Structure 1
Amino acid sequence: MTYEDMKKTLWTAANQLRGSVSAAEYKYPVLGLVFLKYVSDLFAAQEDVIRHRLADPQSDLFIEELEIREESADYFVEDKTFYESDNVFWIPKEAQFNTLLAKATDPALPQMLDKAMKLIEDENPSLKGVLYREFSRLALEPGKLGELMNTLARLKFNPEDHGSKDVFGEVYEYFLGQFAMSEGQRAGEFYTPKSVVNMLVEILAPFKGKIYDPACGSGGMFVQSMKFKESHQKTLKKTGDLAVYGQEMMAQTRRLCLMNLAVHGLEGDLGSTYGSTFTNDQHKTLRADYILANPPFNISNWDGDKLTDDPRWSFGIPPAGNANYAWLQHMWNRLSNKGRAGIVLANGSMSSNTSNEGVIRKNMIEGDAVDCMVALPGQLFSNTQIPACLWFLSKDKKAGANGSIDRTGQVLFIDARHAASSRISRTQIEFTGDDLNQIAMLYHRWRGTEFSDGEEYQDIPGLVFSASLDDIKKHDYVLTPGRYVGAAEVEDDGEPFSDKMTRLTAQLSKQFKESDRLEAEIKTNLAGLGYAL
């Protein structure tokens, strides 16, 4: 069984056990138990790590005498500090996955799980208020939780065998994606498709500084940003560090995000509570170097009528009936003086002229706030068919910190509507790694960043165009990439059009005649068999 097969098998088995419980409710206990399996396995593996250090002559803990070493090992493996020093969560014996698995048929298992999660939170302050503790309220049939634990017991996380953190992270993200597909429209509250996140990350290239997501969902933007940073550290031969800041409207989704961060060994400031970024902003003084966000599209119930005098509206008061331009301006005002933002929004945001949106967009363009626009293909999202685009904003487009080429007064337009080459289901497609690299490289060449391949930027008809402010004025400040990139060039085969038309017409006439001949032959054969058409 391949690793991908394992994930699919686990998901299928876990999903079959939910019965009549909705995916929206079921995802929290499932992800909670996957997390419990992971931290329990790593806790058990840490005991072997401690014993190995005592026996390793190169280790600071090395003890030469075998008898003393064994006595010390028995003592050290019960010492919490030897776990915390390696960022391993301390899991009390009665809260460990295998301890609870042995009681899988006990009718009191749900209550035991709630107690176990509370014990883990008490022992690990960073998990306080994060873990799922409502197993006893879950409307599952008796015995289903035990079956679910037996299914998830097939997961094995051993840091000696593989990068268990990455493996767990992939399982966690895979399950999030599968729940998103099951939940449909509601999934937008917590999940952005991985390939969309990666498109933002590859273009924005977060590497060092503060990163912020004001609608952070389950934390996918943070996780992929960290993976980008780690993958490029060796290439660039320098280190980077990202401080995570976020906010989430939904309490349960905020917990998913905190758990996701913990899984990946990340610490994040998600504010003191959940709540609306507009009316209960948790980071008013933050000035971020990178902002990545997929805020809810076209929301009308964002209390805009109560915020008409808000200082965040640098380019104009956003309409109370649509928060798109409120999101754009909120993020603009949370950027540092060299900061950049990448934001997923509905396509209508690029051209709408209703309720002051056209004026705000014009002011943003003339204020040189817009860096790049990317049109996305349809069917990227499992939860909505609304066409989407990416906005990239920049506080500094001069040559310097964000690139070696001065792009003041210019906007890059990329039409990526036909760039996703992988189909993952009948209703959903995604970008491959090569797709993402090709699109992102257009931006890095244009900007002259350290992530560029060194080739000179060039406009490509049908794909990418670098527009001046005058170009955009001619299109009435509409930012739809298709208006600027034009049609793709058709390769010239050297044959004059009139000659080609004559040749193709003759070929078509010949094919029609052959079709007529074959039809007559089929009718004759059928007549010989006693059938007639």
Structure 2
Amino acid sequence: MAKGKEKNNGNLGFEAELFRAADKLRGNMEPSDYKHVALGLIFLKYISDAFEARHAELLAEDPRAAEDKDEYLADNVFWVPKEARWSHLKAAARQPTIGSLIDDAMRAIEKDNESLKGVLPKDYARPALNKVMLGELIDLISGIALQQPSPPTPLPMGEGGRRPGEGNIRRAQATDVLGRVYEYFLSQFAGAEGKRGGEFYTPRSVVQVLVQMLEPYQGRVYDPCCGSGGMFVQSEKFVLEHGGRIGDIAIYGQESNYTTWRLAKMNLAVRGIDSDIRWNNEGSFHKDELRDLRFDHILANPPFNISDWGGDRLREDPRWQFGVPPVGNANYAWLQHIYWHLAPYGTAGVVLANGSMSSNQSGEGEIRKAMVEADAVDCMVALPGQLFYSTQIPACLWFLARDKSGRSLPSPPGRGAGGEGKLRDRRGEVLFIDARNMGRLVDRTRRELTDADIQKIADTYHAWRSARRDPHPGPLPEGEGEKLQYRGGFDFSGLVQTARELRKKQTPAEAVMWELLRNRQFIGLKFRRQHQIGEYVADFYCDEHKLVIELDGDAHSTSAQATKDKTRDAYMTSLGLTVVRIRNAEFLADPKAVLERIVVVLPSPSGRGAGGEGVAPYRDIPGFCKSATLEEIRKHGHVLTPGRYVGAEAAEDDGEAFADKMRRLSTQWREQQREAARLDSVIAANLKALGYD
């Protein structure tokens, strides 16, 4: 198995190494300028390689077709003239004219591809750009391997010894590799640029929360301030990972920054995603390019607290259904613009500053009240700090819904993390989730949500809005409030302690999990280890709930293994089983969070079905989530801060009696006082010996 740090493999562990190498070539060039140099070349490499792959296929089939531009466009492949192909530029990489050659290549590509007109950077020949660095960067990008391992199950042989669809698979794999490299570079440049980086990039973990909660399987997806297009990329990924196809969703967006709009167009093109992304420098408020369209899913991360948005010129705008937003802050203008664009059963997820949940300035409180009373708000999520490159302002997520009656269509059968089936009538209720304590620090200044965190938030929302509810949603029985309780009143604290002890001994993840599942320790369920299912062997299997738990190591991050896993999961799903995949490192780092996740997605004993049986019943968890009624929200003055509703997290019982703990702590305190007095005497004596009485 190739290691992640090696170049030229599908594991993509080399992406960080690739960026470090590219960043070294930057020299004294500002990241904001170098970003366009590097990303433009990555894009050029992608479209050239995709063209060459299709060209080779057509040559084998019909040499005349290989020179027919329409053959490429029909297959969603850009036409690349000879002088613009990567092989031509690579051969000339060490020439002093390489900058001009790249600019000419970009112009030629734009000329032959209408959708790329005005998108590509064309200033590589400028004198300030070091041409030696440029040549070295071309050599570096040339090392990105696009040929991934073949699919695990060979396609049937067709005429001429070729397998139909084989070329499409190779091109899709190439798209995935370069697309992920492009995304990684975007994130790193955003970090390097700091506040300015946040203008074009939303952290991936935040986007994933929005996508996993809204589940955009099909229909129109819109972002009114789309930045570099990250919302769209993650939405397409979600569709593909859950059995859909690129094209199941239609992408629409608008961006007021021309440079950022170009990044978005390239980001989507490198993924093979067709889109309608509009640019104008007036922005979505003043020149709404898509004013008459309505959308099934809207995902947005608008700039926080904008004061100069030109609201004084829009006082009579019909979009302000809940009240005219203040001239000095655009937060509620964004919310109402987005709600205006929702289809009859549409849903939206919006990132805003925390102040939007409680502000009463300039009529914002009255607008928020009107939105709540009209049942426009479905869910509120408080996020942890330090998630964003551009600001340290704490942020939250607003989830809006046009129709909370439950009449909206469920997700396509068998798809989705939620597995909700029929949605229930949620009118008069709002779900509050407090995720402020989630996430992990990835460096000194920035935090990100883990996969387990994202799954827990999304699963909680899916369970809450599904037709199945806990028949006893009230407070926990007396005495149980001191423990974190789940279905059946089960307490995980003992199991978590077992996991901690095993981790100290560096026990493998499967051994740790088995210690938690064996002998019906986990909420009374019987699990089997290494259980045969058809031609596959499941790591852990519970027959009562038709649940499969798979623990995945580093090998599962390769493209080839991911394809095998999808085939395996699809087979198990076809048998009516629920598959939960967990990373080894994720599980060992926080077994409690993983156990919570398993409980939330646990199907009913009867299996999945149309009534929402695939979702565990929702229940309020102190300190994390609360389903609040309209009356409760009124008592809080329509303030939507989750902390007001979820309460304090239940303390975990450490098993030590209070009286014993107080005796132990009192003794410890007295010992520390005596030691402090002794140290004071030693310090005083030393100072005296040095002549400092």
TM-score by length of 2: 0.68
Distance (whole Å) between structure 2 residues aligned to residue 240 and residue 104 of structure 1:
37
Give 1:423's match in structure 2, choosing from 441, 455, 471.
441
Cα distance in structure 1, aligned partners of 2:93 and 2:241: 41
Partner of 1:456: 617
Contact 1:18 / 1:140 at 8 angstroms: preserved in 2? no
Q: What is the match of residue 276 of structure 1?
A: 283
Corresponding residue of 1:490: 651
| Deviation of 1:503 (Å) | 4.0
User: Retained in 1: the 8 A contact 2:253–2:276?
Assistant: yes
Q: Once the 2 structures are TM-superposed, how far is the Cα of residue 190 of structure 1 from its aligned partner? A: 0.7
Q: 1:138 to 1:454 in 2, by over 3 A?
A: farther
Alpha-carbon distance in structure 1 between the residues aligned to 2:311 and 2:125: 40
Q: Which residue of 2 aligns with 1:8?
A: 16
Among 11, 17, 30, the alignment partner of 2:25 is 17
Q: Which residue of 2 aligns with 1:349?
A: 356
Write the letter of the residue equivalent to 1:393.
L
Q: What SS is found at the alignment partner of 2:120? A: coil
Q: Deviations over 1:302-349 (max 9, x none)?
A: 100000000000011101111000000000100011111100000111
Indicate the residue corresponding to 1:62 in structure 2.
Answer: none
Q: Give unmatched runs, 5+ long, in structure 1.
A: 55-71, 527-533
SS at match of 2:397: strand
Q: Does 1:224 align with 2:228?
A: no
Q: Counterpart of 1:471? A: 632
- Among 179, 191, 208, the alignment partner of 2:201 is 191
- Structure 2 residue 184 is matched with structure 1 residue 165: no
Q: Which amino acid aligns with 2:139?
A: N
**Distance in 2 between the 1:372 and 1:339 partners?**
14
Matched residue type, 1:446: W
* Shift in Å, 1:400: 2.8
1:431 to 1:41, Cα distance in 2 relative to 1, 3 A: same
| Matched residue, 2:123 | 134
Structure 2 match to 1:404:
423
The answer to whether 1:501 aligns with 2:520 is no
In the TM superposition, what are the counterparts of 1:13-412 in structure 2 within 5 Å? 13-50=21-58, 54=61, 72=62, 74-137=63-126, 139-158=128-147, 163-233=173-243, 241-271=248-278, 273-401=280-408, 403-412=422-431
The 8 Å contact of residues 198 and 390 in structure 2, kept in 1 or not, is answered as yes
Q: Secondary structure at the match of 2:442?
A: strand
Check whether the contact 2:622–2:647 (CA below 8 A) recurs between aligned residues: yes
CA gap 1:477/1:214 in 2 versus in 1, 3 angstroms = same
Match of 1:434 in 2: 452
1:247 match: secondary structure: strand
Q: CA deviation at 1:46?
A: 2.2
- Which residue does the alignment assign to 1:447? 465
Is this contact kept in 1: 2:99–2:131, CA < 8 A? no
Counterpart of 1:78 in structure 2: which amino acid? E
Q: Give the superposition deviation at 1:159.
A: 5.8
Instruction: State the alpha-carbon separation in 1 of the partners of residues 613 and 271 from structure 2.
Output: 28
Secondary structure in structure 1 of the residue aligned to 2:51: helix
1:240 offset after TM fit, Å?
8.0
TM-score (norm 1): 0.88
The 3 A distance-change label for structure 1 pair 113 and 239 is: closer
Shift of 1:496: 5.0
The aligned residue for residue 517 of structure 2 is none
Whole-angstrom CA distance in 2 between matches of 1:480 and 1:386: 15
d(CA) in 1 for partners of 2:14 and 2:133? Answer: 21
**How far, CA to CA, are the matches of 1:78 and 1:269 in structure 2?**
28
| Contact 1:210 1:244 (C-alpha < 8 Å) held by counterparts | yes
Give the 3-state SS of the residue equivalent to 1:505 in structure 2. Answer: helix
CA distance in 1, matches of 2:648, 2:613: 26
> Percent same amino acid among aligned pairs?
52
Secondary structure of the residue that 2:384 maps to in structure 1? coil
Change (3 A) 1:384 1:250: same
Against the structure 1 CA distance between its residues 257 and 509, is the aligned structure 2 distance closer, same or farther, given a 3 Å change threshold? same
**Quick check: 1:247–1:277 contact (8 Å CA) kept in 2?**
yes
What is the CA–CA distance in structure 2 between the aligned matches of 1:355 and 1:239, rounded to whole Å?
A: 44
Does the Cα contact within 8 Å between 1:441 and 1:452 map onto a contact in 2? Answer: no
CA distance in 2: counterparts of 1:352 and 1:116, whole angstroms: 52
How many residue pairs end up in the alignment?
503
Q: What is the alpha-carbon distance in structure 2 between the residues aligned to residue 41 and residue 172 of structure 1?
A: 15
Cα deviation per residue 1:330-374 (whole Å; 9 max; x = unaligned)?
Answer: 001000111111000001111111111111111111111111000
1:233–1:239 CA contact under 8 A, matched in 2: no
